[in-house]
Amino acid sequence: MDQPVTIRPEPDGTLHIELAGDIDYTNSGAVVNAIDAEAGPPEPQVIRIDLDAVTFLDSSGIGVLVITSQLAVSLGAEFKVLRPGRNVFEQLRLTGLVDLFGIAQPGAARED
C-alpha cells in the first residue's frame, strides 16, 4: 500500500479505513481530509480504522484517530479501531486511547 490511507465505504453503512506506514506530521492532514471527504453523504453508521499496516504514529497520527473519533460522534456513528501492532498499541496505551477506543491488545481476539 503506497498511500497512507485507503477508504472503502461498504454497503452495510461501514466506512472502512486502512492506514499504512508512518502516520505523522507529513501526511496526517491529508489523511484527515481524505476521511472527511468520504464521510458522507450518506453518513456512515460505523467508522472502522484498521491499523494493521501502521508502523509508526507520532502525535499527529494519534490526532488522526482522535479527529476521526470526533467525526464519528458528530455523525452518530460507532467508532472502532482495529488491529494495531504491538508498538502502535503501546503508543495508544500510553496516551490512554486504548481504553477510550476499546482497542484489543495485539494477539487477543478481535472484532473485524
- Strand stretches in 1-112, DSSP E: 5-9, 14-23, 46-57, 78-82
5-101 CATH: 3.30.750.24
Residue 43 burial (10 A CB sphere; 0-12, 13-18, 19+): middle
Does this model's pTM top 0.75?
A: yes
The amino acid sitting at 67 is I
> What residue segments make up the domains of the chain, in order of their start?
5-101
Query: What residues in the chain have per-residue pLDDT under 70?
Result: 1-2, 108-112
What is the pLDDT at residue 1?
44
Q: pLDDT tens across 14-40, in order?
A: 999 999 999 999 999 999 999 999 998
Give the number of other CB atoms < 10 A from CB of residue 52.
13
